[in-house]
Structure 1
Amino acid sequence: MFRIEAEVDKDRRDLLRSRLQDTNTAASPVLAALRGTPGEREVPLHVWALDAAGDLAGGLVGHTWTTWLHVIYLWVDAGHRGTGLGSRLLARAEHIARTDRGCTASRLETWDFQAPEFYTRHGYEVVCTIPDYPPGHTEFTLAKQLG
């Protein structure tokens, strides 16, 4: 007999993640080789753009893991869009990931109402689409090899 609960529990989340990592490591020689190395951990990567007044004009939040950069958020304030700022933020994150962290690829998710064309112009390819997520829209997963 099991008791099923649906509540936020950070300790259980951490325990579950640890156990899942152990299971994954046992199943994958690549993950096993990373066990205990810096590459095993997700390492935050943040790039910020501040305007002349010091206000946030844009930013990129992501992390690196194994040999991948994962871009989570990329945002540019409306007043700075079309200036190339988004391209500069993305290029800087890719550069840090490639040169400082040894990443060979990058991935991200975006929706059709955001900027999939922006990413394809920067060499990303659509590797997955999820229609009607959220309802009425499509989510795209894109990836790029970092040269």
Structure 2
Amino acid sequence: MNAHIVKLEESPDGGDMQALVKGLTAYNAAQANGETPSYLVATVKDDGGRLVGGLLGATYLGWLQIQVVWLDDSVRGQGYGSELMAIAEREGVRRGVHSAFVETLSFQALPFYEKLGYTVFSRLADFPPGGARYALTKKLEG
């Protein structure tokens, strides 16, 4: 029998992290008829081409998952977040998804997502301490 060492990596290796994600993705694909996440990125750039915001998401198993939405303070409150979400939702519909999913923390963007028609289906209290983590969904229509 081979001995294996289990330990906490104090300074995780990027290659190890990628291998873990790759392993899980391969396992999930084997369970989901070969389907893997199809990523999408929408960006906001200034006149000089500098990234000042954007959205990272993926479509997978009939869902659009919004993973990251970020805007620099200099462009917040100008409609770019709503535009990014609309782009992602349209692309999700084009790819055949039926719904969208996003998570947010209490100090982030809960009212923003609710304004866009997302509904809270889960609230995890004290994540962060004194706050909450929310999971929201929205039915998408083609």
TM normalised by structure 1 equals: 0.80
Corresponding position: 1:119 with 2:109? no
Which consecutive residues of structure 2, in runs of 5 or more, have no partner in the other structure?
none
Aligned AA (2:6): E
- CA separation in 2, counterparts of 1:60 and 1:127? 22
- Spell out the pairing of 1:128-143 with structure 2 (5 A cutoff): 128-143=122-137
Task: State the shift of 1:55 in Å.
Answer: 1.5
Label 1:107 to 1:58 Cα distance change in 2 as closer, same or farther (>3 A): same
Task: State the shift of 1:15 in Å.
Answer: 4.0
Task: State the shift of 1:137 in Å.
Answer: 1.7
The answer for the alignment partner of 1:50 in structure 2 is 45
Larger helix proportion of the pair: 1
- CA separation in 1, counterparts of 2:115 and 2:52? 22
- Spell out the pairing of 1:5-20 with structure 2 (5 A cutoff): 5-6=6-7, 7=9, 9-10=16-17, 13=20, 14-15=22-23, 17-19=25-27
Q: What is the RMSD computed on CA atoms of the aligned residues? A: 2.2
- CA separation in 1, counterparts of 2:76 and 2:23? 42
- CA separation in 2, counterparts of 1:122 and 1:53? 30
Task: State the shift of 1:12 in Å.
Answer: 6.5
TM normalised by structure 2 equals: 0.82
Task: State the shift of 1:10 in Å.
Answer: 5.0
| Among 83, 87, 92, the residue aligned to 1:88 | 83
Contact 2:29 2:36 in 1 (8 A): no
- CA separation in 2, counterparts of 1:132 and 1:45? 31
Label 1:3 to 1:130 Cα distance change in 2 as closer, same or farther (>3 A): same
Which consecutive residues of structure 1, in runs of 5 or more, have no partner in the other structure?
26-30
Q: How many residues are treated as equivalent by the alignment?
A: 133
| Paired-residue identity, % | 36
Task: State the shift of 1:81 in Å.
Answer: 1.0
